[in-house]
Structure 1
Amino acid sequence: MASETKRMTKEELREDEFVEWLVSVVDYIRDHRNSFIVGVFIVVAGIFGIRTFIDTQHQNIRDAAALWGDVLIAEQGGQLTEAAKKAEHIMTSYAGSPAAGQATIFLANLNYSQEKYAEAEKLYGSYLNSGDSGKTEILRHAAEMGLLACAEVSGDLEETAIAYEMLGSKYAGQSMGAWSLMSAARCFKNLGYIERSTDILRRISVDYPKLPIAKQARNMIDML
């Protein structure tokens, strides 16, 4: 009986300690309720601010995408000047959005087609050097090919051909890799390196048999 009484006393002591701790916590919150209210307000405001920021970002992406549609409509209608103006607006006002990346490559390609190679090279480079997390592999490849096309025009044919071939290896197994190799084969052919050009064309026909470019490569081999 004595041991049972002793055990009950310990349990009661633990209960008393818990009650005292709980009372002290309640008293502390009561004494510092203003601080707790401010803290809760800051947390809620922070969450609301993050949510607003995310909603704004999503809205900006949607707005930029809609404007990008206008660029494509203007381009299809032959209104290249208007399309360029809209693309510049997207690029500057919606920087970091997927549409801004598309607009950058569009402007670079437009400048290239108009033989404004320095401006095209600058735009291709700006896309590749930007810290945007929304870069797509297709646009990255387009920018890389654009830079090499500018180098090709400048007359640096051999180094450009080698760079095209390296790009083909970088995107091996993808259609982008096949097109890179085709550009390399063209450059080597223009340099008079027929054997190397033929080897690359054979590589395309073997590695990409299901792509239409494989048939094109075989036809080019027959003409060499």
Structure 2
Amino acid sequence: MSTDPNGPSQPAPFQPDLAPPDVAQAKSAPGAIITVRHGRPNVSRKVMLNAAEYAAWWGRYEETGLKPGQVPPPSLMDIVRKAAVVLSSSRIRAVETAEALTEGRGFEIDDSLIEAPLPPPRWPSWLRLPPTVWGVIARFWWWFLNHHEGQESRKQAEARAQAVAARMTELARQGDVVIVAHGFFNTMIRRYLRRIGWTIVESEGGLSYWCRRRLVR
């Protein structure tokens, strides 16, 4: 995990040395895979921003930890206590979430679990929108129009998600695996898990902070 005083580091384009193993042919794993979204970050969404300002806002969001005073859901705490493996994205908001959930127990920090980028389109400076709206626009342009501004592309992020899904499948042989990461990238991971035989059997919290999905195979 590296830090940069000038701003959040961008992931290098994902170039796996080898293609992900054919986990679709593997035997059923004994454990479940639980994807968890981080807690609420300590940043306000009650602002109106133009495209350039949103890009700066997202940069701050990527460097921000959790808003103080949050208490993890007890049911989620219980799941983490029983897990064989806990992994966290390297972003501060995810690391602090994992720290709150693990109660001093060790966990792995993994750069491959960070959120997919959200570069906004270069629209006129007079157009001002809240961050939530910019996030939807930026995600649409990134996903459907390949707008990445030199950051990680959709194709690269999909390769990263596929590799994560393969690795989590192998780790699940040890027992339950908890992934503490981010809303959209968790969705991408689950997309590949479902392709190789995993099924969502439990969903808690919708799309909110601290939400979770449980997959079994």
Q: Give me the TM-score of the superposition, normalised by structure 2.
A: 0.26
Larger RCO (CA under 8 A, 6+ residues apart): 2
Largest Rg, 1 or 2: 1
**Higher fraction of strand:** 2
**Higher fraction of helix:** 1
Q: Give me the TM-score of the superposition, normalised by structure 1.
A: 0.25
